Amino acid sequence: MGYVLGFIRLLFFGVLLAIFMLRLAVVSLFLGYSETRALHHRRQFIRTMMPILGIRLEVTGALPDDPGTALYVSNHRSYLDPIVVMHEILAYPVAKAEVSSWPLIAQGVKMTGIIFVQRDEQGSRVAARKAIDQSFRAHKSIFICPEGTTHSYRKTIEFRRAAFYIAAEQQIPVYPVAVEYANRAAAFIDRDQFLPHFLKLFGRWRIPIFVEFGPVMRDTDGGRLLNATQQWIDEACIRLQTAHQLDWLRENPTT
């Protein structure tokens, strides 16, 4: 039954995504393309789709009503992380280049704004840093998972630094976010493949996800800004793991 439910939800996901993409395309054709409209359009799709997929969010903390241009930062366990966070925010996600090959999903995120990064190519990382810098200067918010890869450790692993130094230089506020999943099935780690993982995960009736939004962080020093953000996320992850008795995670390796 699990895979049948997962397949049905995959069909619903594809159909609804196509409808939202068509609607955005038609509106843009008559009214002209608007980045703000596209971001709101994406958030509406996410909020419509999550209950259909069985996702149940439990959110603690809150963002200000009008945070302005900001950098949103979360830990990284799954391809669901940006979806969960963008349920609440309007921002351009930075994603690995592999996402650009995912059918329909790639077209949807391209229409509504995304920055792709090729993890193993220095040139792409330089381009991503430039895109983040230009986005901030154009008053666009960014969402990143600075670990760069998913994992099952209790605390975060090393953060990539560039976005924090850009934020510090331009005095962009940073909002940390912690995301945890009730069980291992939601994590996209090791050798998981997207389609089998999707069908297995969404073959479950409910997928509980726990999110905590942190306080705004500002600093003119990029290193201090990174350290403060990572420390808050680590502490929030432990709080969520303890509160919800999440026992599938591993201790970070000692160095």
Give the least confident one: 13-17, 94-98, 222-226: 94-98
Q: pLDDT (tens digit, 9 = 90+) per residue, 185-222?
A: 999 987 778 888 999 999 999 999 999 999 999 999 99
Helix (H) or strand (E) holding 138: none
Tokens 């419509």 correspond to 48
Angle at 193 between CA 191 and CA 196, to 5 degrees: 125
Q: pLDDT (tens digit, 9 = 90+) per residue, 163-193?
A: 999 999 999 999 999 999 999 999 998 777 8
pLDDT at 126: 81
Average pLDDT over residues 151-172: 96
Q: Where are the domains of the chain?
A: 2-243
pLDDT at 143: 96
- Topology adopted by domain 2-243: Glycerol-3-phosphate (1)-acyltransferase (3.40.1130)
Q: Are 210 and 85 in contact (CB under 8 A)?
A: no
Give the least confident one: 93-97, 126-130, 181-185, 225-229: 93-97
Categorize the per-residue pLDDT at 127 as very low, low, confident or very high, splitting at 50, 70 and 90: confident
Classify residue 146 as exposed, middle or buried by CB count within 10 Å of its CB (0-12, 13-18, 19+).
buried
Q: pLDDT (tens digit, 9 = 90+) per residue, 34-89?
A: 989 999 999 999 999 999 999 999 999 999 888 999 999 999 999 999 999 999 99
Buried (b) or exposed (e) across 22-52, using 16+ Cβ within 10 A? eebeeeeeeeeeeeeebbebbbebbeebbee
pLDDT at 104: 63
**How many helices and strands in the chain, by DSSP H and E?**
8, 7
> How far is residue 189's CA from residue 184's CA, in Å, rounded to a whole number?
9
Helix (H) or strand (E) holding 177: strand 174-181
Provide the mean pLDDT of the chain: 90
Helix (H) or strand (E) holding 101: none
DSSP SS3 for 35: helix
